[in-house]
């Protein structure tokens, strides 16, 4: 009986020591996984940002506004204004965010605004 208790106590001590080594190894793996996760999240954020820029550029080109004739600063302002407009900002809010006047914002947005009643008015000369 005493031998059995001694063996069990020794085995418990050995297993406790082994568990500490295992825990240390697991924490290293967890840290590596966390670092990879953060890296993937950053890459996904950058990809989403690039996709958003491409979408805005495509919309600008679709409105017959040649990007090649504009400076990079002008194109970036157009992107910012269009992005803020798509997110629901008012002209005044966009002006405050970009440093433009509300009239300049309206001028930039004019080609991109939907005009549902445009082209539907007919004059009757009878």
Name the residue ranges covered by the structural domains of the chain.
Answer: 41-113
Q: Confidence band (pLDDT; 50, 70, 90) for 126?
A: very low
Q: How much helix, strand and coil, in percent to the nearest 5, is found in the chain?
A: 75, 0, 25
If one counts every other C-beta atom within 10 angstroms of the C-beta of residue 53, the result is 14
pTM: 0.49
Q: Is the per-residue pLDDT at 104 higher than 60? A: yes
Q: Is the per-residue pLDDT at 87 higher than 80? A: yes
- Coil/strand/helix, residue 122: coil
Mean pLDDT of 42-56: 91
Angstrom distance (rounded) from CA 60 to CA 67: 8
Q: Greater confidence, 62 or 12? A: 12
Angstrom distance (rounded) from CA 123 to CA 126: 9
Q: Is the per-residue pLDDT at 102 higher than 90? A: no
Residue 39 pLDDT: 94
């Amino acid at each position: 009986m005493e031998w059995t208790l001694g063996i069990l106590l020794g085995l418990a001590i050995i297993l406790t020591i082994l568990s500490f080594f295992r825990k240390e190894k697991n924490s290293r793996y967890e840290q590596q996984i966390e670092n990879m996760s953060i890296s993937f999240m950053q890459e996904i954020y950058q990809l989403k940002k690039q996709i958003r820029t491409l979408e805005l550029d495509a919309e600008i080109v679709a409105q017959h506004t040649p990007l090649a004739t504009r400076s990079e600063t002008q194109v970036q302002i157009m992107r910012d204004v269009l992005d803020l407009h798509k997110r629901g900002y008012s002209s005044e809010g966009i002006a405050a965010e970009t440093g433009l006047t509300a009239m300049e914002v309206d001028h930039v947005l004019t080609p991109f605004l939907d005009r549902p009643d445009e082209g539907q008015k007919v004059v009757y000369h009878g």
